[in-house]
Amino acid sequence: MAKAAVIPRHVKTMISEAALAVPRKSRDATALELMTGIEARHERVPAYETLLKMISESRSKGQSDLDAPWSLGSLAKHDLPTDALSDVVEVWKLCLAIGTPLTIREARWVTWLRSTIPDLEASDWDSETRLGALNGWAYQYALRERATEALGIDNDTWDLDTELVSMGAVVSLVGSPDKWVSCDQWCFGW
């Protein structure tokens, strides 16, 4: 019997993230999108059945209490630094306005990432753009954390970190956030 090809860690993470990002999307649709995305990155595409199994496994792990909606009351169990609460509350208000919940896990990431988003005085950003970026990055990091937990592996965010750090360079080169390109496009020409 032939030994199955080893799926690289970053491809496993990509599969788990896709499974968790849109849990109501069918496994079939998710697998087909993943096959296209993995192939576009010039990676070996796992068998369709393998993808279906991995999607099911990631989704079956369940959510932790960190994936519940954040509120001030959640601070009793999940403390956040008080100096970061103003940013968390502003991102929470943005989430309420756009109709998506801010999870406790995302709120934690807001506190950790808030100092990495360019300072308003040092850029052409307005506060709404900064909050949108902070919300988007917190979502991406929280999704990665959930995906790696589902896989039972360490949370490696090197690719996200690289893109986040490159963001400042892109802002200085391109100007405003509406003209950004992703790190893949900017660094690798993809």
CA distance 81 to 179: 33
The whole-model pTM stands at: 0.82
User: Which residues, listed in sequence order, are joined to residue 69 by a DSSP beta bridge?
Assistant: 103
CA distance 50 to 54: 6
Of the candidates 180, 150, 176, 147, the residue with the CA atom closest to the CA atom of residue 18? 147
- Triad 171, 172, 173: Cα angle to 5°: 90
Given a cut of 60, whether residue 122 has pLDDT beyond it is no
User: Which residues, listed in sequence order, are joined to residue 103 by a DSSP beta bridge?
Assistant: 69
Domain ranges of the chain: 9-60, 65-188
Given a cut of 70, whether residue 118 has pLDDT beyond it is no
CA distance 62 to 174: 41
Q: pLDDT (tens digit, 9 = 90+) per residue, 142-173?
A: 999 999 999 999 999 999 999 888 875 444 43
| Mean per-residue pLDDT, 111-133 | 74
